């Protein structure tokens, strides 16, 4: 991205000035110059398109890990007011509705665990269905799937996957209201039949990590983190159900926008007014997919626990937090001193509530919400904490963000060689797809340290801990 | 193996780097290929007819999932839909294919498309996943981004970004 087209407002905040006659809201880009320079110009084009949608409140924003997506950029945040004709956009949520990260903290330390990592990796690889074409052992009938779509992680816990204590540490306490399974197509339901408790493919993973560095001891204490501790991160979403809902509503909302007379600079921005029948219909289906994702990560948590206790009988895994990064959620925010109900789209962006927020569990209420920036399998991830001064509708970065296309990564790296290289660094990767590994090469991602630093410097969230990968099941 | 039917033309993969994974590049007589996108993958289908371009676009999509030359076209799945907008028809069709593949636990390698005005009658041939099949990357859906259906001279070209 050519920074000459931007105006720097603060060291980690930039804007794209409007051209004469251009009618759109403000665009704000969070991040330092090195990150912005590495972004494709398409990010600017896409976020400027978002800024032209009706009912947008404040600015259309990109997080420091932003990259070129479809419709919205990945790392895009936009809030809409239903009372002002605000829209809901399937392209603003993405196909993998409620994709997110479940982070588990263990009572194990690296020195206790490291000896059994090869055994652990093999066992996780066999227990966690991962990769294209893999199905889980759980087969749901239509009634059960409706229960999943209503119940989310609560359904999973009732079925014996995990414990009630997990629910306190999941966004929305493990279940969003407003799910309408009747708004979900039969094909979407059929696609999910064998996919509960599966990881998926692409950038999805289950990673065993060690806390390598603590940045904020007070927040780390509240989160129950210490150096040398083993954590587990599970990155996945709503699987086939969410993908099909995204698919179904993309075309439906594109047609609705055309019918209603909403000009879409990119058809992928397919949207409808929140209060329109189509908008409400999508909202009900999207919420059903969110619950499906929460249930899915709850099942994977259970499977992970089973493997850990098999390998380490003394192991106890608690849910640190579960946060989604592909959603549209109704939230109350202060805008110009006024409390307003907004529909906040976060596509590849994580919610990051600051201290005192009533939706946080008691344990974290004084310190703020845990925020996870998932890195590549070779570098590391960060846990951050939400900041009460967050200027972006309580949003933060969600990952390292791609710096190179899959096509180029595939031409540059070979899966097998990459696995060997990572093994030499003490990182054990288990995968069924060498192509997937090559596409997800650590070098294809931005520098996660820069992203985390920029996230903190921009006032979006503060760094708490850096996690180094040790064992990874790659989707 | 079933015989090829209709105007199907198989993509010739000339550069196949196994490494247990693979890199697929089409030949000069290419009918499908890919274009750059930061997070996802751009697919292109080309053909002498619109229908043929749709077929090769589907090959590009499923070529991301697994090498197509290893997939036996032993089971046929028929899909019909109505759509007057050619661009939306492309996305609709690719997504119906992806949905069906996931529903049935299959991967498709050969495709036939026929159109009578707004009615699209299509067929996909493939098989259930087998353990020995190479695993590529799951395609979640075809998007409307960079979506185009164009005729240039005698050649049809269709393209869009698919989410992986």
Q: With contacts defined as CB-CB under 8 Å, which chain B residues touch A411?
A: 23
Confirm whether B13 is domain-assigned.
no
d(CA A97, CA A241): 9
> Nearest CA of chain B to the CA of A95: how many Å?
7
CA distance A409 to A401: 14
- Judge whether A406 is closer than 8 Å to chain B, CB to CB: yes
Rounded to whole angstroms, how far apart are CA atoms B68 and B14? Answer: 12
Q: Are strands B155-163 and B148-152 parallel, antiparallel or unpaired?
A: antiparallel
Domain A3-403+445-474 CATH assignment equals 3.90.550.10:
no
The answer to whether the beta carbons of residues B139 and B155 sit under 8 Å apart is no
Is A474 annotated in some ligand binding site? yes
pLDDT tens-place values along chain A, 475 residues long: 999 999 999 999 999 999 999 999 999 999 999 999 999 899 999 999 999 999 999 999 999 999 988 889 999 999 999 999 999 999 999 989 999 999 999 999 999 999 999 999 999 999 999 988 888 899 999 999 999 999 999 999 999 999 999 999 999 999 999 999 999 999 999 989 889 999 998 889 999 999 999 999 999 999 999 999 999 999 999 999 999 999 899 889 988 999 999 988 888 899 999 999 999 999 999 999 999 999 999 999 999 999 999 999 999 999 999 999 999 999 999 999 999 999 999 999 999 999 999 999 999 999 999 999 999 888 999 999 999 999 999 999 999 988 888 888 988 999 999 999 999 999 999 998 999 999 999 999 989 999 999 999 999 999 999 999 999 999 8
List the catalytic residues of A.
398
pLDDT of res. A140: 92
Contacts of B141 in chain A (CB under 8 A): 95, 243-244, 246-247, 250
Helix, strand or coil, per DSSP, at residue A195: coil
B36/A446 Cα distance (integer angstroms): 17
Task: Give the residue from chain B lying closest to A75, CA to CA.
Answer: B39
d(CA A269, CA A70): 8
- Read off the tokens for B31: 């009918």
Q: Chain B interface, mutation test: which of A187, A195, A267, A445, most B Cβ atoms within 10 Å?
A: A267
B12 in contact with chain A, both atoms CB, cutoff 8 A: no
Overall size of chain A counted in residues: 475
Phi, psi of A236 (to 5 degrees): -165, 180
Q: To the nearest whole angstrom, how far is the Cα of A399 from the nearest Cα of chain B?
A: 12
Mean pLDDT, rounded, of chain B? 82
Is position B20 within any domain?
A: no
d(C-alpha A451, C-alpha A399), whole Å: 8
**Annotation-wise, does A326 bind a ligand?**
yes
Name the residue among A131, A267, A405 with its Cβ closest to that of B38.
A405
Top residue of A70, A96, A199, A421 to mutate, by most chain B CBs within 10 Å, is A70
The angle, 0 to 180 degrees and rounded to 10, between the axes of the packed helices B50-65 and B86-104 is 40
Nearest partner of A47 among A19, A81, A24, judged by Cα: A24
Name the residue among A257, A299, A206, A328 with its Cα closest to residue A54.
Answer: A257
Residues recorded for chain B: 164
Measure the CA–CA gap between A2 and A7, rounded to whole angstroms.
Answer: 11
What stretch of H or E contains A293? helix A277-311
Q: Which domain holds residue B154?
A: 32-163
Residue with tokens 């921009």: A458
CA distances, A25 to each of A50, A54, A58, A89 (Å): 9, 9, 7, 17
Judging contacts by C-beta atoms under 8 Å, the chain B residues touching residue A437 are: 21
Would you state the pLDDT for residue B5? Answer: 28
* Residues A45, B88: Cα–Cα separation, whole Å: 22
As a whole number of angstroms, the distance between CA B136 and CA A37 comes to 31
User: Which of A376, A366, A338, A355 lies closest to A461, judged by CA?
Assistant: A355
Question: Is residue B28's pLDDT more than 50?
Answer: no
Q: Are A90 and B61 in contact (CB under 8 A)?
A: no
Evaluate whether residue B27 is within a structural domain.
Answer: no
- The alpha-carbon gap from A471 to the nearest alpha carbon of chain B, in Å, equals 20
**Alpha-carbon gap, residue A291 to A242, rounded angstroms:** 10
pLDDT at B2 over 60: no
A433 and B137 within 8 Å at the Cβ level: the answer is yes
- The answer to whether position B12 is within a domain reads no
Count of CB atoms within 10 A of residue A123's CB? 17
Residue found by looking up tokens 């699209």 in the block: B120
Mean pLDDT of B5-25: 31
How do beta strands A381-386 and A461-474 pair? antiparallel
- Residue A157 phi/psi, 5-degree rounding, is -65, -40
Domain boundaries, chain A: 3-403+445-474
**ipTM of predicted complex:** 0.84
Q: What is the DSSP string of A125-141?
A: HHHS--STT---SB---
Structural contact between residues B95 and B79, judged by C-beta atoms closer than 8 angstroms: no
Q: Is residue B23 part of a domain?
A: no
Closest CA to B162 of B21, B49, B18, B63: B63
Q: Is the pLDDT of residue B12 over 60?
A: no
φ/ψ bin of A289: left (φ > 0), alpha (ψ from -120 to 50), beta (otherwise): alpha
With H, G, I as helix, E, B as strand and everything else as coil, classify residue A257: helix
Q: Write down the pLDDT at residue B131.
A: 87
Find, in chain A, the residue whose alpha carbon is nearest to that of B38. Answer: A405
Dihedral, A201, A207, A212, A215 alpha carbons, nearest 10: 60
Strand partners, A14: A8, A29
What span, in angstroms and rounded, lies between the C-alpha atoms of A406 and A369? 32
Mean pLDDT of B51-63: 96
What is the SS3 assignment for A8?
strand
For chain B, how many structural domains are there in total?
1
Q: What confidence score (pLDDT) does residue A405 get?
A: 87
| Best CA proximity match to B111, nearest among B38, B62, B42, B41 | B62
CATH of the domain at B99: 3.55.10.10
| C-alpha dihedral (A281, A287, A293, A296), degrees to nearest 10 | -100
Which of B91, B92, B141 has its CB closest to that of A243?
Answer: B141
């Amino acid at each position: 991205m050519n920074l000459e087209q931007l105006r720097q407002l603060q060291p980690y905040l930039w804007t794209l000035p409007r051209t004469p006659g251009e009618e759109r809201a403000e665009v704000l880009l969070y991040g330092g110059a090195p990150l912005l320079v590495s972004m494709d110009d398409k990010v600017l084009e896409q976020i400027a398109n978002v800024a032209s949608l009706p009912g947008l409140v404040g600015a259309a924003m990109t997080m420091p890990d932003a990259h070129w997506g479809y419709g919205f950029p990945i790392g895009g945040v936009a809030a809409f007011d239903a009372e002002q004709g605000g829209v809901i956009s399937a392209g603003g949520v993405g196909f993998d509705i409620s994709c997110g990260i479940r982070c588990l903290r263990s009572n194990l330390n690296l020195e206790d665990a490291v000896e059994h990592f090869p055994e652990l990796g093999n066992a996780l690889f066999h227990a966690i269905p991962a990769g294209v074409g893999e199905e889980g052992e759980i087969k749901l009938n239509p009634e059960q799937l409706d229960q999943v779509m209503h119940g989310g992680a609560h359904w999973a816990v009732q079925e014996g996957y995990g414990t009630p204590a997990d629910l306190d540490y999941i966004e929305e306490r493990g279940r969003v209201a407003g799910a309408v399974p009747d708004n979900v197509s039969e094909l979407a339901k059929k696609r999910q039949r064998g996919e509960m408790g599966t990881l998926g493919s692409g950038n999805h993973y289950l990673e065993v990590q060690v806390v390598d560095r603590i940045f904020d001891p007070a927040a780390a204490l509240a989160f129950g983190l210490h150096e040398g501790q083993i954590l587990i991160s599970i990155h996945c979403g709503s699987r086939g159900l969410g993908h099909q809902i995204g698919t179904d509503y993309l075309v439906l909302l594109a047609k609705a926008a055309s019918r209603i007379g909403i000009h879409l600079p990119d058809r992928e921005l397919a949207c409808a007014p929140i209060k329109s029948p189509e908008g409400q219909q999508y909202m009900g289906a999207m919420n059903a997919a969110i619950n499906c994702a929460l249930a899915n990560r709850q099942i994977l948590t259970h499977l992970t626990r089973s493997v850990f206790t098999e390998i380490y009988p003394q192991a106890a895994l608690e849910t640190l937090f579960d946060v989604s990064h592909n959603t549209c959620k109704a939230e109350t925010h202060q805008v110009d001193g006024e409390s307003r109900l907004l529909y906040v789209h976060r596509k590849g962006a994580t919610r990051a509530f600051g201290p005192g927020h009533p939706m946080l569990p008691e344990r974290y209420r004084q310190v703020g919400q845990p925020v996870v920036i998932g890195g590549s399998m070779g570098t590391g991830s960060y846990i951050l904490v939400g900041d009460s001064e967050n200027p972006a509708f309580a949003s933060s970065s969600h990952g390292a963000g791609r710096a190179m296309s899959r096509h180029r990564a595939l031409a540059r790296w070979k899966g097998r060689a990459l696995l060997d290289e990572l093994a030499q660094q003490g990182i054990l990767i288990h995968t069924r797809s060498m192509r997937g590994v090559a596409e997800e090469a650590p070098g294809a991602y931005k520098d996660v340290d820069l992203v985390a630093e920029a996230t903190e410097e921009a006032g979006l969230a503060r760094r708490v801990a850096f996690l180094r990968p040790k064992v990874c099941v790659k989707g | 193996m079933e015989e090829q039917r209709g105007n199907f033309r198989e993509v010739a993969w000339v550069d196949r780097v196994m490494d247990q994974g693979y890199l697929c590049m089409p030949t000069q007589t290419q009918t499908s290929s890919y274009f750059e996108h930061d997070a996802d993958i751009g697919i292109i289908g080309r053909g002498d007819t619109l229908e043929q371009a749709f077929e090769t676009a589907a090959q590009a999509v499923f070529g991301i999932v697994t090498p197509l030359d290893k997939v036996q076209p032993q089971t046929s799945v028929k899909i019909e839909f109505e759509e007057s907008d050619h661009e939306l028809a492309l996305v609709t069709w690719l997504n119906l294919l992806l949905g069906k593949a996931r529903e049935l636990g299959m991967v498709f390698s050969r495709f036939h498309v026929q159109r009578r005005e707004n009615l699209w009658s299509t067929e996909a041939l493939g098989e259930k996943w087998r353990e020995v099949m190479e695993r590529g990357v799951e395609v979640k859906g075809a998007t409307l981004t960079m979506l185009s259906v164009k005729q240039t001279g005698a050649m049809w070209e269709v393209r869009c970004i698919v989410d992986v």
